[in-house]
Amino acid sequence: MIVQLTPSWILTDEHSASSYGQPVLVGMATGEAYGPGDIIRAYPSWSFAPASMAVERMTKTTRLAEDEGFFVDRFINFGK
């Protein structure tokens, strides 16, 4: 599955960095993948934070279908 969070970021389990169906956050500009605990700066105006927090922030302005919402929740809540 691929969920377009913003024009710059997707959440997917189709990237080679995904393991056992666990979604990863992928930057469209670089193709680099991040897990929920990786510290990133999603945009220059944002502070450094775990990728799970960045995804949570991105979804505040993104309409998600029900299955996409569950997929995003799997990423945000991984390990909790």
- Residue that has been written with the tokens 């029900």 in this structure: 66
If one counts the domains in the chain, the total is 1
**What pLDDT was estimated at residue 61?**
86
In angstroms, what CA-CA distances link 52 with 2, 8, 23? 16, 16, 11
**Residue 42 and residue 29 in contact, taking contact as beta carbons nearer than 8 Å:** no
Q: Supply the range of the domain harboring residue 52.
A: 2-76
Q: Inform me whether the pLDDT recorded for 14 exceeds 90.
A: yes
Helix (H, G, I), strand (E, B) or coil at 73: helix
Report the candidate in 24, 11, 8 with the shortest Cα–Cα distance to residue 64: 11
In angstroms, what CA-CA distances link 60 with 14, 48, 54? 24, 18, 10
**What pLDDT was estimated at residue 62?**
86
Q: Inform me whether the pLDDT recorded for 31 exceeds 90.
A: yes
